[in-house]
Amino acid sequence: MPTVTIAPRFCGPPNSANGGYFSGVTAALAGSSVAVRLLKPPPLNVPLAVVERGEGRVELRHGEELIAETRPNRVPAPTLRPPTYVEAVQASQRYVGFDHHPFPTCFVCGPQRQRGDGLRIFPGALDGRDLVAAPWVADESLAAEDGKVRPEFMWAALDCPGWLATATDARIALLGELTVHIDRRVRTGDRCVVVGWCIGGNGRKHEAGTALYDEDGVLCGYAQATWIEPRGAGASASA
């Protein structure tokens, strides 16, 4: 039976995988447009068994424990006007994660990750709009042989901005489900913009949209996610 192992570099919380990156790896196994549902925190450095159920349905298991599963799904493309790269840089300066972050070593949005290691996507509130935005320049280590960013890293980039759009105070929330559509992969070194917005919520459950644009404002990928606040988590602790 094939297995997948997530390296510690790609953590979200310190002891589990970043949900977006893990979802991208899982979606690639399904070979079609899918939603990835996370049922348990994906462990690091542990082989996870890949169980194929057919028709875009895949399970990842740790022993008898079901970690994640996929199902066929698509999401509509956003029609919003993207911010410019300069506007995204200005918004990023308001990133609340600089002051307090529940997981400061997160592969995607952790401020303690070094350049070339983490993605360092820091979404902040965009002036006059109900969006968070951040600039992103992908490192060469994220490239496939064609020089473009590998799909799982675009999934990762489309993850955490949705969290910041729904948890504006950086309180703890965990990714429950993620669907990503990639129109085209960006190149490393390109000046990209990532945005996130809140779709709605009910109690501890929140829906968010995210989108990734190249430096010309062309939509390259977009996503829809469900975020869940753990019971009794409250606001995030100081990092």
Spans of all domains in the chain? 3-72, 85-228
Residue 145 in tokens: 């042989």
Residue 238 has pLDDT above 70, yes or no: no
Segment 45-57, tens digit of pLDDT: 999 999 999 888 9
**Same fold yes or no, 3-72 and 85-228:** yes
pLDDT at position 232 over 80: no
Q: Please give the share of the chain, as a percent, with pLDDT higher than 70.
A: 97
Task: Show the tokens assigned to 52.
Answer: 């194929």
Per residue in 168-180, pLDDT (tens digit) is 899 999 999 999 9
Q: What pLDDT, on a 0 to 100 scale, did the predictor assign at position 1?
A: 81
Taking the C-alpha atoms of residue 150 and residue 156, their distance in angstroms, rounded to an integer, is: 10
pLDDT score at 239: 24
pLDDT band, very low/low/confident/very high, at 233 (cuts 50, 70, 90) = low
Which superfamily is assigned to 3-72 in CATH? Hotdog Thioesterase (3.10.129.10)
Rg (CA), the chain: 16
User: Is 80 exceeded by the pLDDT of residue 234?
Assistant: no
* Dihedral of alpha carbons 193, 26, 101, 228, sign: positive
Report helix, strand or coil for 59.
strand
Q: What is the dihedral of CA 21, 102, 41, 36, to 10 degrees?
A: -40
Residue 236 has pLDDT above 70, yes or no: no
Task: Report how far residue 117's alpha carbon sits from residue 216's, in angstroms, rounded to the nearest whole number.
Answer: 26
Please give the pLDDT value at position 21: 98
Instruction: Look at strands 65-72 and 219-228 and give their pairing.
Output: unpaired
What pTM did the predictor assign?
0.94
Q: What is the dihedral of CA 80, 98, 138, 9, to 10 degrees?
A: -130
Q: What is the mean pLDDT of the chain?
A: 94
**pLDDT at res. 224:** 98
What is residue 55's predicted lDDT score, i.e. its pLDDT?
87
- Region 85-228: CATH code: 3.10.129.10
Query: How far out from the chain centre does Cα 110 lie?
Result: 12
